[in-house]
Structure 1
Amino acid sequence: MTTQDDLFHPVVELPEPTRYDRYRRLVGLDDTKLRLRKEAALLADPRRLQQWAADHHGGDIAALTLFADRAPLFVFAGDVGSGKSALAESFGCDLADFLDLPVYLYRLKLATRGSGMVGEMTSLIGGAFAHMHTVGARATDTRGGVRSVQILVVDEADALVQSREAQQMHHEDRAGVDAFLAGIDSLAGARVPVIVVLCTNRLSALDPALMRRAAATFTFTRPDDQQRHAVLAQALDGLGIGTATIGKLVALTGPTADRPGYTFSDLTQRLVPAAVRDAFPDRPVTGEDLLALAEALRPTPVFTEEN
């Protein structure tokens, strides 16, 4: 018998300190965060949209019907290191504060693809959606009130719901995509507080039928000059690094003719930690350290369909 532990990594109740810190460190994504908060709130608790219509337009409006059958599905697409997975697993902290409700983070195990046995992947995907239906139904009361929100994150989604148009696609994989689409459709009609987030490096690899169902698609790119400045200023706070040096770092970490610019994770997981590591334990971090590292480190290669 398939259990919750077979389908998901340990469930996390949000807000949670580690993930909230991660959410706050994702600077330069303010517009994305605001749009995500609104989109998620509309899907999680439709009554808030009805209240908005009553407060600002005097009652029901035709536009409300356009939201009634939206699939509770977001697609996060972008290059590696662009922050999509980190945001997918942490935006629930902000949503919990905004809605004043607990949010539960579910992360689907890639093992849900199964071992290739006929019917296994279909059964596992069906079990995952059945579980989300159950917890979603428990999170609503008899009057439609929402007690909590559930977020299901599927990382590396192209490995699970790749396009059925691929000629080499195995029958079992096609059946798995069909099962996933059926699960999304069932959630759309159930009106339970469940949101599914698919993360992918290969947007074009996802099945077109899945993309048509997505309530919103969020595209993540490498940080521009302004975003890199914001990331570096935050990460270097307290180290005594001057604004002129940060400006030089912004220029050095941008794209050039022979390489791409740094990703968010290149800045926060490679460049700045490397400077701290090199200075530890005998001396402070200097601007010269950072500039030398920025010139020496190669940014993460751009992900391509062949990678």
Structure 2
Amino acid sequence: MSQNTIFDAEIVVPDAEISARAKTLVGFEARYARVHDQLRLLLNVDAVADWNRRQHRGELAIAGHIADQYPLVIFHGDVGTGKTAMAEAIANQLMSEAKTEDSMLFRLSNRVRGSGLVGEMGSLLSEAFARVIAAVGKNRRAVLIIDEGDSIAASRAQDHSHHEDKVAVNTLIQHIDDLRRFKGRVAVILCTNRLSVVDAALLRRAAVIDEFRRPTDEERLQLLNKDLAGLDLSAAQIADLVKVTGPLHGRLGWTFSDFRTRFYPAAVAKAFPDRPLTYRHLLETAQQMGGSRVMEDR
């Protein structure tokens, strides 16, 4: 496998495109505010000893435990709830605030699972971590995002767990343990649709575990107002779309992905290429669609 296929993205951060995309993410500010303090601490554990000296004359006993935390964050929730996009935006914002030049954001490809050869997945994981470590050098920082994390981090205790999968989990744990020597300059954000299948050893190591849910009425209202700007829809029309895309008559509410990858293209297709997009197109499309199915977390 070519080195270039280990990652879906290798981005120098802060990145203007990710910053612009963050503005389109409903709930970004609230979620960032909620996890900011813990993540800032996680990415700056090298400064804890100095903080302890300045603020507590070096006598705060728990400072040593803070420095030993594992640089692992877990985002979990249903498919399409924005975990990966939010992970990129949060990492990018943290790097921007830290004024860290030429830091790196890596997004691990699911192709790291390899082609099934014995030992391949573990070797590819090790190669990925080696490249992340090489990128940080002596002064830079890096965040590695692992999307669909349950595909390489599933519990080793499962009856159907294959030997190769167990080796991959062991390898992942070993590398996360090793990252502690970088004192916060390298962190991993693991995104998973099924928290319950993630290996218990990884769950114990996570400094932050944050859940992503399907958007609320207020969040769907914000999303529609943001995305449908320029159509001059009335507040009542937007409210109707909020209602029909929510939990209704036993149906599931929509995910963010349902709106942007399914609903909008289907509605535009009704008008394109000879007619303008109207509220009627949107309403009819929404009524015909339903929210995507839940990936059962068990």
TM > 0.5: yes
Give 3-state SS (helix, strand or coil) of 1:89's partner: helix
Deviates more, 1:176-185 or 1:165-174: 165-174
Q: Which residue of 1 aligns with 2:189?
A: 197
1:133 equivalent in alignment to 2:133? yes
1:117 equivalent in alignment to 2:117? yes
1:172 equivalent in alignment to 2:141? no
Gaps of 5+ in 2: none
Q: Which residue of 2 aligns with 1:84?
A: 83
Asked whether the equivalents of residues 118 and 164 of structure 2 are also in contact (C-alpha less than 8 Å), the reply is yes
C-alpha separation in 1, matches of 2:65 and 2:81: 31
Asked whether the equivalents of residues 162 and 207 of structure 1 are also in contact (C-alpha less than 8 Å), the reply is yes
Selected match of 1:152 from 144, 150, 155? 144
Letter in 2 for 1:32: R
Q: Could you say if the C-alpha distance between residues 248 and 116 of structure 1 is closer, same or farther in structure 2, counting changes exceeding 3 Å?
A: same
Asked whether the equivalents of residues 245 and 287 of structure 1 are also in contact (C-alpha less than 8 Å), the reply is yes
Q: Which residue of 2 aligns with 1:223?
A: 215
Letter in 2 for 1:41: R
Q: How does 1:30-49 map to 2 (within 5 A)?
A: 30-46=29-45
Q: Which residue of 2 aligns with 1:105?
A: 105
Q: How does 1:44-83 map to 2 (within 5 A)?
A: 44-46=43-45, 57=55, 60=58, 61-83=60-82
C-alpha separation in 2, matches of 1:208 and 1:275: 43
Deviations 1:234-270 (A, max 9, x none): 1111210111111111111111233100111112333
Asked whether the equivalents of residues 32 and 218 of structure 1 are also in contact (C-alpha less than 8 Å), the reply is no
Cα RMSD of the aligned pairs, angstroms, is 2.4
TM-score by length of 2: 0.89
Q: Which residue of 2 aligns with 1:272?
A: 264
Give 3-state SS (helix, strand or coil) of 1:93's partner: helix
Aligned length: 296
Gaps of 5+ in 1: 141-147
Deviations 1:149-187 (A, max 9, x none): 211111111111110001122222212211111111111
Selected match of 2:241 from 249, 274, 295? 249
Q: Could you say if the C-alpha distance between residues 211 and 192 of structure 1 is closer, same or farther in structure 2, counting changes exceeding 3 Å?
A: same
Task: Kindly state the Cα deviation for residue 305 of structure 1 after the two structures are TM-superposed.
Answer: 4.9
Deviates more, 1:71-80 or 1:38-47: 38-47
Give 3-state SS (helix, strand or coil) of 2:144's partner: strand
Q: Could you say if the C-alpha distance between residues 17 and 279 of structure 1 is closer, same or farther in structure 2, counting changes exceeding 3 Å?
A: farther
C-alpha separation in 2, matches of 1:90 and 1:214: 20
Asked whether the equivalents of residues 78 and 84 of structure 1 are also in contact (C-alpha less than 8 Å), the reply is yes
Q: Could you say if the C-alpha distance between residues 130 and 230 of structure 1 is closer, same or farther in structure 2, counting changes exceeding 3 Å?
A: same
Give 3-state SS (helix, strand or coil) of 1:11's partner: strand
Letter in 1 for 2:123: S
Q: Could you say if the C-alpha distance between residues 10 and 248 of structure 1 is closer, same or farther in structure 2, counting changes exceeding 3 Å?
A: closer
Letter in 1 for 2:282: L
C-alpha separation in 2, matches of 1:283 and 1:231: 24
Give 3-state SS (helix, strand or coil) of 1:153's partner: strand
Give 3-state SS (helix, strand or coil) of 2:153's partner: coil
Deviates more, 1:41-50 or 1:80-89: 41-50
Task: Kindly state the Cα deviation for residue 70 of structure 1 after the two structures are TM-superposed.
Answer: 1.0
Task: Kindly state the Cα deviation for residue 106 of structure 1 after the two structures are TM-superposed.
Answer: 1.0
TM-score by length of 1: 0.86
Deviates more, 1:183-192 or 1:233-242: 183-192
1:236 equivalent in alignment to 2:228? yes
